[in-house]
Amino acid sequence: MDRTEENRQEYKELQRRVKREVSKAKQKAYDELYNRLDTRDGEKDLYRLARQRDRDGKDVQQVRVIKDRDGRVLTSEESVQRRWKEYFEELMNEENEREKRVEGVNSVEQKVDKIRKDEVRKALKRMKSGKAVGPDDIPVEVWKCLGKAAVEFLASLFNRVLESERMPEEWRRSVLVPIFKNKGDVQSCSNYRRIKLMSHTMKVWERVVEARLRKVVDICEQQYGFMPRKSTTDAIFALRILMEKYRDGQRELHCVFVDLEKAYDRVPREELWYCMRKSGVAEKYVRVVQDMYERSRTVVRCAVGQVCRFALERRGMKVSRSKTEYMCVNEREGSGTVRLQGEEVKKVQEFTYLGSTVQSNGECGKEVKKRVQAGWNGWRKVSGVLCDRKISARIKGKVYRTVVRPAMLYGLETVSRRKRQESELEVAELKMLRFSLGVTRLDRIRNEYIRGTAHVGRLGDKVREARLRWFGHVQRRESEYIGRRMLDMELPGRRQRGRPKRRYMDVINEDMKLVGARVEDAEDRDRWREMIRCGDP
């Protein structure tokens, strides 16, 4: 085409028309997106959009360079792949030194029942949807959608696996994805979490076997991880009440928080087989579990492509000297120290226990500040949605209630807070809501209107509801439950002179008086929930 003035003007006109059409198409797509987000079916798209916008705003998502064990930066794809392979081989295949068992244990040879359809159905129900698939690219949603036909097929397949004690070779393959922990050196392999993507069908098989093993194996009551009817809140609550009792009795409580190095990565397998046999697990189940570990192959997926003496220590679990810490509650002068094989354990005044900060003086001020920080971290992750002016206030309020608020409420049901600390939480919440709605204090809009627009109730009321809900749960549990035992425990000693410090039950009594409830009402769960409920506007 000739570069004449007429052609140039025609080109500019076409360019303007194209821009207008692109702008219209983009606006139409955005309108359809926001209309869909405002429906029940669009909820998943909403959270997916929030995650995508959070990822787009990060400086570092995946690095293409990594450091070797000596701290030298590796830049070539081949050397980076080799380093990841070396790191994970060492991490997942090496075992800590341990004493070899001399005593043996008799195996239990007995006939086991066939896998029933109801077992498969329960295992499928326990599987979460929307998870990343393994190497076979078959999501669990396939089996859920097929319904009865899937249950019959899987029951037949699992019975063949149980009979032969050999699972399909495809199930042995997995993909390991390193995810940065968002702390420490981004080029250090040790600062990455290991996420293993496995076949969903194999996970269903695992759940079926696990359900049978739980009926046979007795696990000590001190175990709280991956246990039914137990949560981190149980352990946090027990520790806080125990600290409170010792503080009131003016007695010292010595706490040692033991950290195990790579606890889930370096479990000695021979110890697993020994413990299973000692617990009376049928030998067929032992061989089935052994088969899950045999000939397993893992590929590491990274930015540059895929890569291929202490009591616990006598059993192969190594105690981390650097991360194990000691804290003394209600410490007096001349309190001693704790040593581990001649090495003094680090003494601290606070410790983050299962995500909740406990202080040696029994206060909770630092935990409240941590909750505020956790709330802001959650808010920033979804700020791409919360600060979008085209998304309705109702939707923003829903995202806030489901993403941000749970982070702020975590563990607070176990805390005997003060009004000042409750005020800190509410101030932070209102700042987040004002940012989300595009409102500043200069606009002179009342807090009640802000909460009503976003359909978000007072955080203080929600904390009270969570605290009373937890107290009702504790009251309904059996007398041997650790939370009940801590509440009912009496220690010799007298409280300090002067103004007494607030106790958990003092706060609970105030809360119950406010809602007109009594301790006896907690026995009826539904009635108790109705009495303490504080809904959002």
Q: Which of 281-290, 478-487, 492-501 has the lowest mean pLDDT?
A: 492-501
Token match 């590929």: residue? Answer: 299
Q: Which pLDDT does position 35 carry in this prediction?
A: 75
Q: Which pLDDT does position 103 carry in this prediction?
A: 62
φ and ψ at residue 245, rounded to 5 degrees: -65, -45
Distance CA 141, CA 162 (A): 24
Token match 């392999």: residue? Answer: 189
Asked whether 534 and 462 are in contact (CB, 8 A), the reply is: yes
Q: How is residue 433 written in tokens? A: 């809501």
**448: part of which helix (H) or strand (E)?**
helix 447-454
φ and ψ at residue 529, rounded to 5 degrees: -60, -40
CA distances from 228 to 214, 222, 234, 250, 516 (A): 10, 13, 12, 36, 32
What confidence tier does 56 reach under pLDDT thresholds 50, 70, 90? low
Mean pLDDT computed over every residue of the chain: 86
Mean pLDDT of 219-234: 81
Mean pLDDT of 101-121: 83
Instruction: Specify the higher pLDDT residue, 347 or 37.
Output: 347
CA distances from 34 to 23, 31, 51, 246, 435 (A): 16, 5, 16, 55, 20
Give residue 42's identity as a one-letter amino acid code: G
Distance CA 345, CA 351 (A): 14
Tens of pLDDT along 242-286? Answer: 999 999 988 999 999 988 776 666 677 788 888 888 888 999 999
Q: How is residue 528 written in tokens? A: 């108790």
State how beta strands 339-340 and 297-302 pair. unpaired
Asked whether 422 and 463 are in contact (CB, 8 A), the reply is: yes
Q: Which of 49-58, 225-234, 290-299, 445-454 has the lowest mean pLDDT?
A: 49-58
Cross-strand bridge partners of residue 196: 176
CA distances from 355 to 221, 358, 409, 494 (A): 21, 10, 12, 31
Q: Which pLDDT does position 62 carry in this prediction?
A: 60
Q: Which pLDDT does position 308 carry in this prediction?
A: 44
- The radius of gyration of the chain's CA atoms, rounded to the nearest angstrom, is 29
Q: Which pLDDT does position 414 carry in this prediction?
A: 95
Percent of the chain with pLDDT over 90: 45
Sign of the torsion angle spanned by Cα atoms 396, 432, 387, 451: positive
Question: Is the model's pLDDT at 327 over the cut of 80?
Answer: yes
Cross-strand bridge partners of residue 350: 359
Domain boundaries, the chain: 73-218+282-308, 234-238+361-492+501-532
Give residue 182's identity as a one-letter amino acid code: N
Question: C-alpha dihedral over 154, 160, 163, 166, to 10 degrees?
Answer: -100
Mean pLDDT of 136-161: 95
Mean pLDDT of 57-85: 81
Token match 């094989």: residue? Answer: 341
Tens of pLDDT along 398-412? Answer: 889 988 999 999 999
What confidence tier does 96 reach under pLDDT thresholds 50, 70, 90? low
Distance CA 503, CA 498 (A): 15
Token match 């935990």: residue? Answer: 367
What confidence tier does 97 reach under pLDDT thresholds 50, 70, 90? low
Cross-strand bridge partners of residue 299: 175
CA distances from 480 to 223, 243, 253, 483 (A): 15, 19, 22, 8
CA distances from 242 to 74, 231, 234, 254 (A): 50, 17, 12, 11
Question: Is the model's pLDDT at 309 over the cut of 50?
Answer: no
Return all residues near 138 (Cβ < 8 A) that are at least 6 apart.
199, 200, 201
Question: Is the model's pLDDT at 209 over the cut of 90?
Answer: yes
Instruction: Specify the higher pLDDT residue, 333 or 194.
Output: 194
Mean pLDDT of 170-180: 88
What confidence tier does 305 reach under pLDDT thresholds 50, 70, 90? low
Which of these, 481, 426, 257, lies nearest to 354 by C-alpha position? 257
Question: Is the model's pLDDT at 138 over the cut of 50?
Answer: yes
HSE-CB of 16 using CA atoms within 13 angstroms: 5
Mean pLDDT of 294-313: 58
Q: Which pLDDT does position 311 carry in this prediction?
A: 47
**Which of helix, strand or coil describes residue 471?**
helix
Burial of 498 (C-beta count, 10 Å sphere; 0-12/13-18/19+): exposed
Strand order of the β-sheet with 173-180 is 192-197, 173-180, 297-302, 305-307
Report the greatest alpha carbon distance in the chain: 101
Mean pLDDT of 437-455: 91
Q: Which pLDDT does position 223 carry in this prediction?
A: 77
The secondary structure of 340-364, three-state, reads ECCEECEECCEEEECCEEEECCCCC
